[in-house]
Amino acid sequence: MQTQDSSVLKSLAMPIHPEGWRFIPLFAAATLLLFWLWSPLGWLGVVLTLWCAFFFRNPDRITPSRDGLVISPADGVVQMVVAAPPPLELAMGDAPMTRISIFMNVFNVHVNRAPISGKVLKRIYSPGKFFNASLDKASVFNERMAVRLELADGRNIAFVQIAGLIARRIRCDLGEGQQVRTGERFGLIRFGSRVDVYLPEAIQPLVVVGQTTVAGETVLADLTATEPARQGEAR
C-alpha cells in the first residue's frame, strides 16, 4: 500500500518543462479574474489552468541504451509509415527514405527527445502554414524545424518537428556540431503537432500505423536488425 501511495504522489509531483512556467501563471491570473467576474467562469479557469500544467509535464523516461536502436522522439500515435524524400533544406538528396510520422494530440507529453545518439550536422527552421499535422502535406508545407544527425557509423538520419493546426511555437535546443544521446530532451512543440523520423536506407520500422509510442522508450527501428517490416492489427 505504501508503494502505491508513493507512486501516486510521484505522479502528482511530475516536473514541469521550463516553457510551462511562462503560461501557467497567466492561466492562474486569468482564473482569478474570472472568479471576480463570475464564479462559474472561475471554475472553468481552474480546469484550464490544470490542463496547462498537465500539458507541460516533463516526466523522466527509461531509454533503451543498446547501440543501433532508434527511439521514438515523441509521445503519440504512428500516423504514417511511408517512403518519402527527406526535407530539401537538409541536403540529404531526393532518394526516398522510410518516414515514420508520430502525431501528438493536446493531451500527450510534448517534450521531444533525440531518437538516437549522434552529431547534429544541420538544424534548419522553415516557416510555413499550419495545416492539420495529421495530413501528409504537413511534412512539406507546415512550419517546421528539421535536424540532420550523423551517427557513429557515418550514416545519417533526420527528424523534423512540425507545427500543427493550433501549434504556434516550435522549441529546439539543439545546435549544429552538438553531440546528443539517445533519449536526451531537445525541445517541444505547443499545442498539438507531429514529429517525423527518416530512417537510413534499407532500415525497416519496428512500429506500425496506429501504434501508440512513448518518447524516449518505444523502439522505432533497429539499425542492426534484418527482419522485414512488421504488420499490425487492432485486437
Residues annotated as part of the active site: 193
In this structure, are residues 95 and 207 in contact, taking their beta carbons and an 8 Å threshold?
no
- Give the span between the Cα atoms of 146 and 229, in whole angstroms: 25
The DSSP annotation for 188-201 comes to EEESSEEEEEEEPT
Residue spans of beta strands (DSSP E) within the chain: 69-71, 76-84, 97-104, 111-113, 118-126, 144-150, 156-163, 169-172, 179-180, 185-190, 193-199, 212-213, 219-222
- Give the span between the Cα atoms of 57 and 167, in whole angstroms: 17
CA 76, 80, 85 angle in degrees (round to 5)? Answer: 120
Rg (CA), the chain: 19
Q: What share of the chain is helix, strand, coil (3-state, %, to 5)?
A: 25, 35, 45
- Give the span between the Cα atoms of 218 and 183, in whole angstroms: 10
- Give the span between the Cα atoms of 71 and 91, in whole angstroms: 23
